[in-house]
Homo-oligomer: A and B are copies of this chain.
Amino acid sequence: MTFAFEIAKSDPTGARRGRLTTPHGAIETPFFMPVGTQAAVKGLTQEALEELGAEIILANTYHLYLRPGHEVIRKLGGLHQFMSWPRPIVTDSGGYQVFSLSGLRKITDDGVRFRSHLDGSEHFLTPEKAAEIQLALGSDIAMVLDECIETPAPRDKAEAALSRTVEWARYARAYFLEQARRNGNLPQLQFGIVQGATFADLRRESARRLLDLDFPGYAVGGLAVGEPHEITIAMTAEVTPLLPSDRPRYLMGVGRPEQIADYVALGIDMMDCVLPTRAARHACLYTSEGRVLIKNARYARDQRPIDSNCLCGVCRRYTRAYLRHLFTAGELTASVLATHHNVHFYLDIMRQIREAIEFGNLANFSSEMHARFAAGPA
């Protein structure tokens, strides 16, 4: 078996410490995935990701389908070979992007018709097609196509999207298993996605209905899209107890540094977020003391590293004064260095969280993170 998920230890909070094995290597859980939407983590080379100890990244089906095209990537040996990233990759289904980026969306029971945000060309994405694209990309974990709605959503809209997402998951699962049967192997793990907006009962219903489809892993989607953190927590907490404890749980699109441990405490094993990379490009740096807005004039002569407690290559070599200068001067290298540091910070949070779970100490870690980030940015 090329795939496996083992839980080694649990924390009193409900957090789990384990390992997810894929054909491209094993990943210690819980883990955070840097986002490489278009087969690149913005500002980082694959060498840098390896140096940072990133064990897995997230890429995007919608973007790669439109450009360069999944058939091109298939022809070039799959996504791992295309981007020269030998470690595991998760691909999101593109559902979120179809609903947030593209134009002229018409949703039917079969799929969604949309216009490319790049050239206006028309496309029809079905659950089967999203699965097919991800098989062509050859990611280690593929997500089913889901209908993403705006939050806050009226209940009837949330109900309809939930039902459609479950139906689409059924089509996606059937298609995927048929392909696996034909090819005689299981090339990737396919995850279902729990929806239900901010309605607790709908979240539970969504989870229960997806369980029938027996996915090897489950994601919680449609959260952290503008609702208060308490709601994100509450909705996740409704769902995780229902999900099979022997399968990985992926909370999509989260989160802020101080929130990560909260999600882990709910039994979440996987997360992704553009925050560390996007904030870096906007000169917002994460440190053990909280956020540092490095363009602030107060850093003009600051000879300290970004974070005195950080062991990343940027903190070992460069000062705040230099980083501030690079951002003020609009130098490309500013984004490169800032991204390196922020991704290190997130990966390091996860290392600390995994350690905290092993010592049964996650609750303390979580309080400490909230205290550090309670003040506004410096």
Contact = CB atoms under 8 A, between A and B. Distances in A.
Interface of A: 38-47, 63, 67-68, 72, 75-76, 82-84, 281, 300-301, 303, 313, 317-319, 321-322, 324-326, 328-329, 331-337
A310 to B, nearest CB: 16
A41 B333 contact: yes
Contact of A72 (B42, B321, B337): B321
Name the residue among A63, A281, A300 with the largest chain B CB count within 10 angstroms. A300
Report how many copies the assembly holds: 2
A331 B40 CA distance: 7
Given A317-B84, A322-B82, A333 B44 contact: yes
Contacts of A84: 317-319, 322
Nearest to A333: B40
A10 to B, nearest CB: 38
A300 B68 contact: yes
B68 A38 contact: no
A249 to B, nearest CB: 30
Contact of A45 (B63, B76, B329, B333): B333
18 contacts: A38-B329, A39-B322, A41-B333, A42-B333, A44-B333, A45-B336, A47-B313, A67-B328, A68-B321, A68-B325, A68-B328, A72-B301, A76-B319, A82-B319, A82-B325, A84-B317, A332-B332, A332-B335
A103 to B, nearest CB: 19
A332 B335 CA distance: 9
Given A40-B334, A332-B335, 19 more contacts: A38-B326, A39-B322, A39-B325, A39-B326, A40-B333, A43-B332, A43-B336, A44-B333, A47-B313, A63-B329, A67-B325, A67-B328, A67-B329, A76-B301, A82-B325, A83-B322, A84-B317, A84-B322, A336-B336
Contacts of A281: 332
A138 to B, nearest CB: 15
A317 B72 CA distance: 19
Nearest to A318: B84
Listed from nearest, the 8 A-B pairs whose CB atoms lie closest are A38-B329, A40-B333, A40-B331, A43-B332, A68-B325, A42-B332, A84-B317, A84-B318
Contacts of A42: 331-333
Name the residue among A84, A281, A336 with the largest chain B CB count within 10 angstroms. A336
A374 to B, nearest CB: 32
Contacts of A332: 40, 42-43, 281, 332, 335-336
B82 A321 contact: yes
Nearest to A82: B322
A301 B75 contact: yes
Contact of A333 (B43, B76, B319): B43
A22 to B, nearest CB: 21
Nearest to A38: B329
Contacts of A43: 332-333, 336
Nearest to A83: B322
Nearest to A67: B329
